[in-house]
């Protein structure tokens, strides 16, 4: 058997949603080393699990000998992508954008091997922020039909409430990214989420019109649950890759608690385990499926954080299920001992620890029996937490529902 074709590998694992020219792209992968790119606009201070899928695809391709370009959107981020939006994105300062780009680059280094011949990390600020507007309109804008652009999926939702001229330019800027990278780095393929299809087609068409050359686009399936809803959200927001926004333990627990029906898909998209092994691991049910979820959570946490983090989170998770909680890997908040001298309202504490969004939500949770302190259920919404509720190590274990834990550590 020869080396598997990169297109076939991505398709077998379930990554591919749409492709501009499937047969031509498959042929390209078999004939040459392909330079490809994926863009990441710095809309937050950290990447999240939706981005992680794209890095998994890029790493899969890099391991098969192709060259990735991680493109940071220091230029496009100043405009904001309207795709899938019903409102305009918040305008960020240049300082915010540049800091977020720096954070993204540091996180990308965990997944992609950089070096001129192995992989590149570029920032479109270097060419977009320096553009001459009149020349850009003449040389690039000339190739775009407004009628065709307005028919694109990425603009439909925004048109209902009002599309700004700024947002209308986003597709042109992203398309120019592809042209620039084709001209300067020999880039032949753009990757993106399924919501980027219209923007990617714009880039493919621009290269064809401006250079008379064939390039390609490939979109990836979004991470969804078996019921079709989007995966990667928690009560507290996105599943972040930054340990300061989501601890390795919380990250591990998210994957440890996915539905049985989603385990096989998550293994295929978010780990490098061979498919035969994945199918064998996930063929089980009952207690054996819990073991499969542990393995899933371990593998993903190891990739995003480290093997040590994965082992620590797994040990803490097992301790929780056995009732022997240890501090260290669990989410923990340090609070002054004096705050509990006269009693600290349980409802306010739950809100302050961000275990609930509001006091009223906390009240409902307590009265419905969803809160335990030191494994003892509390149903009194007027309960006051005192220092006497803490154990000998000055820690208080709070459990919300069956699977969410938080430790409060007293400090003098």
Of 333, 309, 313, 310, the residue nearest 321 (C-alpha): 313
Binding site residues for L-tyrosine, as ranges?
37, 170, 174
Pairing outcome for strands 395-400 and 384-385:
unpaired
Distance CA 237, CA 398 (A): 20
Nearest Cα to Cα of residue 68 among 109, 103, 118: 118
Detail the residues annotated as belonging to a binding site. 37, 170, 174, 233
The terminus-to-terminus CA distance of the chain in angstroms comes to 66
Measured CA to CA, the distance from residue 213 to residue 272 in angstroms comes to: 34
* 287 contact partners, CB below 8 Å, separation of at least 6: none
What is the Cα–Cα distance from 47 to 103, expressed in whole angstroms?
Answer: 8
190 CB-contact burial (10 Å; exposed 0-12 / middle 13-18 / buried 19+):
buried
Pairing label, strands 187-193, 395-400? unpaired
Neighbours of 278 (CB within 10 A): 21
DSSP element (H, E) containing 343? none
Cα distance between residue 254 and residue 301, in whole Å: 10
How far is CA 10 from each of CA 47, 65, 218, 219, rounded to the nearest angstrom? 22, 14, 11, 11
**Residue 334: strand, helix, or coil:** strand
Q: Which residues are known binding-site members for ATP?
A: 233
């Amino acid at each position: 058997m020869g080396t598997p074709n990169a297109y076939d590998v991505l398709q077998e694992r379930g990554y591919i949603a749409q492709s501009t020219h499937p047969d031509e792209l498959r042929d390209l992968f078999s004939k040459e080393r392909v330079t490809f790119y994926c863009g990441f606009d710095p809309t937050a201070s950290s990447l999240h699990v939706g981005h992680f899928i794209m890095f998994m695809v890029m790493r899969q391709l890099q391991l098969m000998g192709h060259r990735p370009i991680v493109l940071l959107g220091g230029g496009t981020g100043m405009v904001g992508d309207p795709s899938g939006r019903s409102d305009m994105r918040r305008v960020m300062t240049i300082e915010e954008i540049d800091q977020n780009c720096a954070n993204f680059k540091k996180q990308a280094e965990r997944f992609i091997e950089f070096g001129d011949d192995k992989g590149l990390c570029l920032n479109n600020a270097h060419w977009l922020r320096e553009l001459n507007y009149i020349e850009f309109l003449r040389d690039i804008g000339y190739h775009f039909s407004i009628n065709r652009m307005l028919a694109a999926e990425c603009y439909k939702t925004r048109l209902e409430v009002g599309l700004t001229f700024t947002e209308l330019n986003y597709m042109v800027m992203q398309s120019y990214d592809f042209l620039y990278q084709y001209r300067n780095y020999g880039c032949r393929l753009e990757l993106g989420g399924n919501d980027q299809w219209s923007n990617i087609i714009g880039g493919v068409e621009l290269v064809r019109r401006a250079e008379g050359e064939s390039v390609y686009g490939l979109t990836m399936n979004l991470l969804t649950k078996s019921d079709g809803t989007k995966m990667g959200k928690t009560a507290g927001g996105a599943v972040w890759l930054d340990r300061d926004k989501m601890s390795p333990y919380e990250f591990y627990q998210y994957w440890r608690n996915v539905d049985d029906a989603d385990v096989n898909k998550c293994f295929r998209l978010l780990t490098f385990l061979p498919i035969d092994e994945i199918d064998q691991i996930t063929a089980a049910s009952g207690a054996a499926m819990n073991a499969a979820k542990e393995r899933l959570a371990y593998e993903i946490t190891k990739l995003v954080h480290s093997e040590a983090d994965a082992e620590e989170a797994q040990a803490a998770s097992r301790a929780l299920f056995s009732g022997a909680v240890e501090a260290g890997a669990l989410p923990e908040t340090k609070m002054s001992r004096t705050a509990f001298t006269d009693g600290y309202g349980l409802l306010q504490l739950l809100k302050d620890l961000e275990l609930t969004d509001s006091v009223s939500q906390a009240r409902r949770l307590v009265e419905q029996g969803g809160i335990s302190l030191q494994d003892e259920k509390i149903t009194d919404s007027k309960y006051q937490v005192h220092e006497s509720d803490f154990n000998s190590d000055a820690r208080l274990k709070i459990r919300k529902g069956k699977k969410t834990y938080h430790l409060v550590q007293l400090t003098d």
